[in-house]
């Protein structure tokens, strides 16, 4: 393959990654702004402001090093190769440990401060929209088990308060009213 062809292919792959990443970050930024405004309106001014600020730097580590090189943002990345799987696993671990909106950063979801929980919910909502899934169902069916908390726990109540502020009433509930 010619040098010019390799450069063109690398540029295309890089732009595919950048577009997917920036789209996700913009979605989280929007979610942090919505949630932050609602928190400010109900009197949680510092928390709302901090959450809005976090939205502007969300996932910036994904533009660099191991995360940019090994997190799959595109369909053209071969994640079936064993070496690629290991590199992706290491990149995910690095991301989770260095970004405060991940429970792993705090050695568990129950240790997270409210601002980190708010950004996490904004991130989860963005991912649920990207994958076309229900955020509430995902929390109940997956997050509770993965991070070992219950519907009776304080952290669940905080998370669901943020979900209720961030997410409109489900369509089926509107129709039934």
Q: Is the backbone of residue 9 left (phi > 0), alpha (psi -120 to 50) or beta?
A: alpha
Residue 24 lies in a domain: yes
Do residues 45 and 38 lie in contact, with contact meaning Cβ atoms separated by under 8 Å? Answer: no
pLDDT along the chain (177 residues), means of 10: 90 93 97 98 98 97 93 60 87 96 98 98 96 95 97 98 89 58
Q: What does the pLDDT read at residue 56?
A: 97
Q: What pLDDT shows up at residue 78?
A: 56
Number of domains in the chain: 1
- The residue with tokens 């993965």 is 146
Question: What is the pLDDT at residue 17?
Answer: 92
Domain hosting residue 53, numbered range: 3-166
- 34 within a domain of the structure (yes/no): yes
State how far the Cα of 76 lies from the Cα of 13, in Å rounded to an integer.
8
Q: What is the reported pLDDT for 99?
A: 96
Quick check: is 156 in a domain?
A: yes
pTM above 0.95, yes or no: no
């Amino acid at each position: 393959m010619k040098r010019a062809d390799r450069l063109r292919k690398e540029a295309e792959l890089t732009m595919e990654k950048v577009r997917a990443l920036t789209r996700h970050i913009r979605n989280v930024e929007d979610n942090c702004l919505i949630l932050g405004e609602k928190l400010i309106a109900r009197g949680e001014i510092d928390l709302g402001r901090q959450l809005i600020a976090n939205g502007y730097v969300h996932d910036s580590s994904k533009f660099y090093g191991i995360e940019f090189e090994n997190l799959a943002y595109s369909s053209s990345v071969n994640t079936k190769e064993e070496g690629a799987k290991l590199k992706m696993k290491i990149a995910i671990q690095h991301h989770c440990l260095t970004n405060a909106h991940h429970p792993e950063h705090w050695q568990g979801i129950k240790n997270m401060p409210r601002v980190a929980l708010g950004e996490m919910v904004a991130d989860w909502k963005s991912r649920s929209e990207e994958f076309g899934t229900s955020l509430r169902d995902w929390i109940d069916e997956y997050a509770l088990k993965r991070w070992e908390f219950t519907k009776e726990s304080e952290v669940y109540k905080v998370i669901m308060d943020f979900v209720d502020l961030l997410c409109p009433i489900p369509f089926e509930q509107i129709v039934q009213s």
